[in-house]
Structure 1
Amino acid sequence: MSVQRPVQRPVQRPVQRPVQRSAQRRFGIGLVVVGATLFILNSGVSRVALRNGIGSLELTSLRVTGTFVALLVVAVAWQRSALRLPRGRQLLLVIALGLFGVALLQLCYFMALDRLTISLALLLEYQAPILVALWAKFVQRTEVTARLWWGLALAVAGLAAATEIWEGASFDTVGVLAGIGGAICFAAYFLLGEACHDAGLSSVQVMLWGFAVATVAMNLASPVWLVEADLTASVSLQGSLDALSAPLWLVLAWVVLLGTLAPFGVELVALRYIPATLVTAIAMLEPVGAAALGWAWYAESLSAVAVLGCVAVVAGILLAQTARGEEHPEDPITLT
């Protein structure tokens, strides 16, 4: 006698309505805007530290060390699986990411920020997406469209206009080299981050161990416990805020918590609602925001040509970035 088996009905999965998807998209975009705004403000706050007794090397060491400690607390409290030490190829990738994509990137960024205008320092660093696209084209043999070359040409022309090189190229050579080095390290951050993702590491795990490596490296070069500046001293906020002051330790706490951990955190959450391609696209507006900040806070002059150059650089970067294929859903987030 045959036994009649119960009919299994297909599991009904919840379907997101268009209105719900639209709301989530707006929420995700809002998070990225908040993160980009915090990164922009951090460029101004970091300059306060740089001009009040903290050197580029010291600030880099303090920033990566403080951020690692904060990430360690986050991992212990909310994602203990991230505490697992990577092995084999994963470990090698994380070490490379920590040295080049975190430590050297931050050092080059602060050196450029100390010697150049805020807008030029970030404009140079944000040539990184073009370097990533060129790497994809010629090294990874990824198919890209003609938009890569149009974007590259537009970004280079925009950079020339933003710096007004025909006025005598009076910018600091070491600062420009540091900015270019920052772009190379930033590109390494993206590429190594992709490799870490492909190797099976989560974003939190990548950032935690990447900052751990950077913390060891930077403290070998400049131990945080040997910083000679008086962290309890009250320092001027510089520029248009010169009449205001704050304890130096509070300025450094901003750089670590609101200038690094918070913007990274909100952009990481944003990846749950919008794709990484959109996250990075919105973040590319940071150079323009930084130019506006430099004008408002530090009275850095911005001619109409320079403003158009800033817009052209961002447009060129975005155009070049679209020449790449789809990125992974957990690509790393910008850390300027």
Structure 2
Amino acid sequence: MGSSRRIGISLVVLGASLFILNSGVSRIALRNGIDSLQLTSLRVTGTLVALVLIAALFQRSALRLPRGRQLLLVSALGLFGVALLQFCYFVALDRLTISLALLLEYQAPILVALWAKFVQRAQVGQRLWVGLALAVAGLAAATEIWKGASFDTLGVVAGFGGAVCFAAYFLLGEACHDAGLSSVQVMVWGFAVATVAMNLVSPVWLIEADYTASVSLQGNLDHLSLPLWVVLTSVVLLGTLAPFGVELVALRFIPATLVTAIAMLEPVGAAALGWAWYAEALSPVAVLGCFAVVAGILLAQTARGIHPDDPVAVT
């Protein structure tokens, strides 16, 4: 395995781990008076503020407004890959079981592979398909979708919409890099678009919350507490800025097909976190499903490009 590939895979694993941790931290906020739309608005707005500060200190060129095709790409990434992705997921989560909502959203790796094969004309080989199929089957078992699954039409549409937006985030991020934009510039302007969109729906200045109030960490950590503002800061910095950033940077080292396959670790890790933190039961079938997801990802990541300089060719 080349050094670039190792760096890319390590970055995606780090990003997925931070997203997993954020699923537990976000639950604290959601159970203490912050609803899903409000949390999304706070999340993207706070991340934008942090990004602008980082750019002003370390990369002022990132604050320059992109032009032409670059502006279209970052606008699409912010609207679809950040704002609409989270909206679709929350709609699906509200109308379906958590397991089914996750399973639908994590069809994204298949969509990315299909895009690579039929639009980008990349050579997508059998190992990637087998790995993705094994991971999806494992995810279905890990989340036990047959337990209380509800096939609400709007919820299912939103779930598939989330998968499309999730795939769009990685494909548009890859296209932004190819268009010459830095990772910081992509994130600054992508989150700027998402911030405008979310504040039109749920303005952060209208959120009524006692940010200094001490809140329990819940579950097995119920005996511990932190101020609400610390929890929200973690959601912004460790649950959004860092993971979105490292997964975007990973696209400089490995193709979007592989990034999205490895990202399937997130729902499996979230299930494990729920067991460890919130004492949520994991059946033997769910545990086997988790192993199947990891096996599928390992198989998918063995797929190699036909040319070392080709960012999308996977065999």
Matched with 2:84 is 104
Q: Quick one: which of 10, 13, 37 aligns to 1:57? A: 37
Q: Quick one: which of 180, 183, 192 aligns to 1:212? A: 192
Matched with 2:210 is 230
Q: Which amino acid aligns with 1:58?
A: Q
| C-alpha separation in 1, matches of 2:153 and 2:222 | 28
State how many pairs are aligned. Answer: 308
Q: How much has 1:322 moved relative to structure 2?
A: 6.1
Q: Quick one: which of 179, 192, 197 aligns to 1:199? A: 179
Matched with 2:111 is 131
Structure 1: unaligned runs, 5 residues or longer: 1-20, 332-336
Q: Which amino acid aligns with 1:51?
A: R
Q: Which amino acid aligns with 2:274?
A: G
After TM superposition, the structure 1 = structure 2 runs for residues 1-336 of structure 1, keeping only pairs within 5 Å, are 33-110=13-90, 122=102, 124-169=104-149, 178-265=158-245, 275-276=253-254, 283-316=263-296, 319=299, 325=305
| C-alpha separation in 2, matches of 1:113 and 1:51 | 15
For residue 85 of structure 1, give the secondary structure of its aligned residue in structure 2.
coil
For residue 294 of structure 1, give the secondary structure of its aligned residue in structure 2.
helix
TM-score if structure 1 supplies the norm length? 0.77
For residue 167 of structure 2, give the secondary structure of its aligned residue in structure 1.
helix
| C-alpha separation in 2, matches of 1:217 and 1:87 | 20
Residues 178-233 of structure 1, C-alpha deviation per residue, up to 9 Å, x if partnerless? Answer: 54433221101111112222222111111110001111111111110001222222
* Two-structure CA RMSD over aligned residues (Å): 3.5
For residue 276 of structure 1, give the secondary structure of its aligned residue in structure 2.
coil
For residue 215 of structure 2, give the secondary structure of its aligned residue in structure 1.
strand
The structure-2 alpha-carbon separation of the partners of 1:107 and 1:238, relative to structure 1 and needing over 3 Å to count, comes to farther
Q: Which amino acid aligns with 2:47?
A: T
Q: How much has 1:174 moved relative to structure 2?
A: 6.8
Q: How much has 1:47 moved relative to structure 2?
A: 1.1
Q: Percent identity?
A: 83
For residue 210 of structure 2, give the secondary structure of its aligned residue in structure 1.
coil
Residues 121-172 of structure 1, C-alpha deviation per residue, up to 9 Å, x if partnerless? Answer: 6554333222100122233333222234423432342233223344453698
Q: Which amino acid aligns with 2:111?
A: L
Q: Which amino acid aligns with 2:197?
A: A
For residue 226 of structure 2, give the secondary structure of its aligned residue in structure 1.
strand
For residue 66 of structure 1, give the secondary structure of its aligned residue in structure 2.
helix
Structure 2: unaligned runs, 5 residues or longer: none
Q: Which amino acid aligns with 1:228?
A: E
The structure-2 alpha-carbon separation of the partners of 1:267 and 1:140, relative to structure 1 and needing over 3 Å to count, comes to closer
